[in-house]
Amino acid sequence: MKDFFSNVAKAFAGFNAVDALIIILFALVFYYVFRILKTSNVRSVIIVFALFIVATGIIFISESNLNGDAFIVIPIVLAGLVLIIFNVEVKRDILSLHSLNRIAEKREHQTFAGKEEVERYISEIIRALQNLSKDNIGALIILSNDNIPAQILESGVLLDANISSQLIEGIFFVKAPLHDGAMIINNYKIQAAGCFLPLTQNANIPKELGTRHRAGIGITETCNVIALIVSEETGIITIAQRGKITRYADYDLLKKTLSDYYWKDLTSDGRRHI
């Protein structure tokens, strides 16, 4: 440990204002690279991170007053900063590793869905949400793209059922055994129900939002998914994406959110590959 700290001190010998400016500029570039990669998979993050580390070492050694030890020390310092500042993104990408094999397996069985079929999925989900909201029945639905970690799916009951408003409402009925957990909709199937999700650790979440909302927000912080939440107390429908929430979601907003989810991979022949 002493050798490490001595190497750190040695690496920053001769440190001046120009070197400080270089570090700040690289930190800004690093931040925006991670913002761009926020919705990308873990392999993209690893590749860009590795390239950035190599470029950082070369530039620091050739253009600054820092000595050769910086090639080892500075990447370690940057990696530590990444783990601290971007802990949510790193955690999300690590969790995504659990589902990579499952994604490859599922793609072998993917089919095309026509416009009418997809519009029916959207209508069924919206109808269920509005009925649950009207009756003040709590619900948590996650819109996934084969990117939910296996341990979350295994915490509930696997269904692989067709999407219908009756089934969604039945699962979240107060006396139903699976009503307290989350439902996972994976493209055109209800994949699982009664699943347990990680809770957000964000201290700025309004206090009136309970466990259901914190679970919905938490999963969007660690996975690239959309959470649709119905409050049991007020019937208010909330949409969570990337750790941010939009409350009082009406028909138009639900329609747009679901359309974006289903049609973002629309093919040239008007069908969605799912």
State the alpha helices, DSSP H only, in 16-96: 17-36, 42-63, 70-85, 87-96
d(C-alpha 212, C-alpha 261), whole Å = 22
Q: CA of 181: how far to CAs of 22, 24, 68, in Å?
A: 49, 44, 54
What does the mean pLDDT of the chain come to? 77
Contact 138, 181 (CB under 8 A): no
Range 205-223 average pLDDT: 92
pTM for the whole structure: 0.62
Range 49-53 average pLDDT: 62
Q: Is residue 158 pLDDT above 90, yes or no?
A: yes
Confidence class of residue 267 from pLDDT cuts 50, 70 and 90? very low
What pLDDT sits at residue 145? Answer: 85
Of 54-68, 91-105, 152-166, 242-256, the one with minimum mean pLDDT is 91-105
Q: Regarding predicted confidence, which is higher, 74 or 137?
A: 137
Q: Is residue 95 pLDDT above 60, yes or no?
A: no
What pLDDT sits at residue 103? Answer: 43
What pLDDT sits at residue 39? Answer: 46
